[in-house]
Amino acid sequence: GNSVTQMEGPVTLSEEAFLTINCTYTATGYPSLFWYVQYPGEGLQLLLKATKADDKGSNKGFEATYRKETTSFHLEKGSVQVSDSAVYFCALSPKGNTGFQKLVFGTGTRLLVSP
């Protein structure tokens, strides 16, 4: 079946530190991969995506590379800010159903950034 595994949180960092949140997946074929962010009291916002192997998604200083050989999609940012504090979800959409996109989410990783 399809599943996503994320590192457990919370991840606690000081401002300007380097961030890595690990994500690995299990899927049939080659899914599309996503990172969503959820700020307190809000819904999910798409942060970045990659639809095929070796693609790099990037947005707002965050990056993630679709690694087929390790079935991973780790999220990175070179210098975090207090405003990045949120819960980050890794997700996949199984391939072959482009008109129908069911998202399979990991359990989320809470990031806390202190000044």
Partner 1 sequence: DAGVTQSPTHLIKTRGQQVTLRCSPKSGHDTVSWYQQALGQGPQFIFQYYEEEERQRGNFPDRFSGHQFPNYSSELNVNALLLGDSALYLCASSFNSGRVNEQFFGPGTRLTVL
CB of 112 to partner 1, least distance (A): 15
* Residue 72 CA: distances (Å) to CA of 52, 56, 75, 98: 12, 12, 10, 21
Alpha-carbon gap, residue 37 to 44, rounded angstroms: 6
Cis amide prior to 40 (ω within 30 degrees): no
Q: Which of 19, 25, 49, 73 binds partner 1 (CB under 8 A)?
A: 49
Interface characters, 53-72, with partner 1 (x: CB under 8 A): --------------------
Alpha-carbon gap, residue 73 to 64, rounded angstroms: 6
Amino acid (1-letter code) at residue 101: Q
Q: Which of 11, 13, 17, 51 binds partner 1 (CB under 8 A)?
A: 51
Binding of residue 104 to partner 1 (CB under 8 A)? yes
Amino acid (1-letter code) at residue 111: L
Interface characters, 4-33, with partner 1 (x: CB under 8 A): x---------------------------x-
Please report, as ranges, the residues that interact with partner 1 according to CB under 8 A: 4, 32, 36, 41-46, 49, 51, 89, 91, 93, 98-108
